[in-house]
Amino acid sequence: MDKVTKQNALNAHTWVGVFLSVLLFLVCLSGTIAVFHLEFERWEQPHIEEMENVTPEAIEKAMATFLAQNTQESHHLYVVFPTSDIPRLVVENDHAAYFADSDGNLLEKERVSFTQMLVDLHLYLNLPHSWGMILVSALGAIICTLVITGIIAHKRIAKDAFKLRRGGNGQQAQIDLHNRFGLWAAPFHLVIGITGAYFGMAGIILVVVATLNYGGDRDAVIDQIFTPDPVLNPQQGEPAIGKAFAQMETLAPEKSPIFLTVHEVGKPEQFIEIYAKAPNRMIYAEGYRFDTAGNYIGNAGYEEGEWGKQLIWAMYRLHFGDFAGLTSKWFYFVLGVMLTMLCVSGMEIWLSKKAHPPLASRLWYAVVWGSVSALSLTAVADMFFTGSLIVVFWCLMLINIIVTAAVQSLTKPVWLFISGVSVVILLATYAAVHQGATLNVASLQLNIPMVLYAVWSLHRGSILLHRSKRAGEMTKRETHNAVCDVKPT
């Protein structure tokens, strides 16, 4: 490839990354953490009883009690089974959700405000969903662009694939690490970018396909992707969800039921659908359908559908790494950290080439490490505050930026310290609030990684602070020697 093409690719890679660095970083950081969104839901209420399975009788009892206490009109009823990735029994409608124990007794209302805020940050950047999704999806396309232009701009991919030079001021090592992360994880980054772009572009794709192939009939396209509701005789009575669930052992003994939905509650077209995870398949789930009396009427056909249909139903698992338990989640987390660090290192390389302008550098560090602090303190606020966590998070981010602009000493080492201390405050508050439940699996699976991050950030901040002080002392000494060497005329 000629030099002009490589240089143009490098210019595009640089300026796209610089202008969208903050948005890309926030989406990548929140997405990396949101890989564990189901674990965060457990973490928010760690004292809830967990189980491996549940009886049909317990499900019937939990739903009956729930309906007696929640009489508002709802188009859907849901039961989340403990055989899902959350080992808890949950019954809910369109308005509220409650946990239940293994005997079917209701426990307490589900509260996942922090998890919802975190997922909302990743999917919509906390903007109104209609155009927030479009913006985030556009950023997914930008990630693909950055990966491709980065590869094109690389002058010696094969020769430098494993090169990591150290020494000097560290800039070359940072460039090498940026290039290695970008090269080694490029397939993953493309998958994340493509699937992320799909979620926001699905509506546009629907319109285009409907216009080209179905005479503008969008419902016809939807019916090709999502199996149409079954046509039944008018249904009456309470849905026999326990009877429907009991049949899953016979209908699909190798599958794990994830959740149950009662569609069009109270209407003549009411029916029950149980979604079950298919082993060794990437699709989200297969749907098994029952009438109101709990009689099996067929499946939705997602598992054996055409390849395009299966691909669309695999988008969620591909994007969040939810296909091989914690193994795939940790794999996605590590690769997500690499993608996030690409955003960070790319911007820091650009700042270093501009001689590290003080204000711009401080503001960047406030965004990067200050966002970790803001998320931690937002989680603390969630334990005592019932208002909007979106407002809390963005107010903290705004305070970080304002204070950083005013205080020149808030450099990268200081922000690393602040982020570490914020996580320590979160862990201490969490232990005080949840007490004994802090040491169960639902808590420790996230608290242990948080402890490791706090230790690393405090240690790393200490090292960088020591280096900056030593560099400052050397500069003063050199300046002093230079002044002493000047001879009077």
> CA–CA distance from 2 to each of 20, 179, 364 (Å)?
27, 20, 34
Question: Sign of the CA dihedral 80, 85, 87, 88?
Answer: negative
Report yes or no: 21 and 347 within 8 Å, Cβ to Cβ: yes
Residue whose C-alpha is closest to residue 39's, from 277, 260, 321 = 321
Q: Burial of 367 by CB count in 10 Å (0-12 exposed, 13-18 middle, 19+ buried)?
A: buried
Per-residue pLDDT of the chain (489 residues; tens, 9 = 90+): 567 776 777 667 776 777 789 999 999 999 999 999 999 999 999 999 999 999 999 999 999 999 999 999 999 999 999 976 899 999 999 999 999 999 999 999 999 999 999 999 999 999 998 889 989 999 999 999 888 888 887 666 656 666 666 655 566 777 777 777 778 888 999 999 999 888 877 777 777 878 888 888 888 877 777 788 898 899 888 999 999 999 999 999 999 999 999 999 999 999 999 999 887 788 888 999 999 999 999 998 888 877 777 888 888 888 888 888 888 999 999 999 999 999 998 898 888 888 888 999 999 999 999 999 999 999 999 999 989 999 999 999 999 999 999 999 999 999 999 999 999 999 999 999 999 999 999 999 999 999 999 999 999 999 988 887 776 666 566 655 665 665 554
**Please, which residues have CB within 8 angstroms of residue 281's CB and are 6 or more apart in sequence?**
303, 310
Measured CA to CA, the distance from residue 163 to residue 171 in angstroms comes to 14
Measured CA to CA, the distance from residue 49 to residue 255 in angstroms comes to 23
Backbone angles phi, psi at 330, to 5 degrees: -65, -35
pLDDT at 321: 87
CB atoms within 10 A of CB 471: 11
Report yes or no: 175 and 348 within 8 Å, Cβ to Cβ: no
Measured in residues, the chain has a length of 489
pLDDT at 480: 54
pLDDT at 2: 65
The gap from C-alpha 273 to its chain's centroid, in whole angstroms, comes to 27
pTM listed for this prediction: 0.89
pLDDT at 50: 95
CB atoms within 10 A of CB 83: 20
Residue whose C-alpha is closest to residue 149's, from 13, 8, 252, 353 = 13
Residue whose C-alpha is closest to residue 438's, from 106, 45, 122, 133 = 45
Report yes or no: 290 and 274 within 8 Å, Cβ to Cβ: yes
Report yes or no: 65 and 105 within 8 Å, Cβ to Cβ: yes
Measured CA to CA, the distance from residue 66 to residue 29 in angstroms comes to 37
Residue 86 pairs in a beta bridge with: none
Measured CA to CA, the distance from residue 300 to residue 112 in angstroms comes to 30
CB atoms within 10 A of CB 32: 21
The gap from C-alpha 142 to its chain's centroid, in whole angstroms, comes to 18
- Bin 205: left if φ > 0, else alpha if -120 < ψ < 50, else beta: alpha
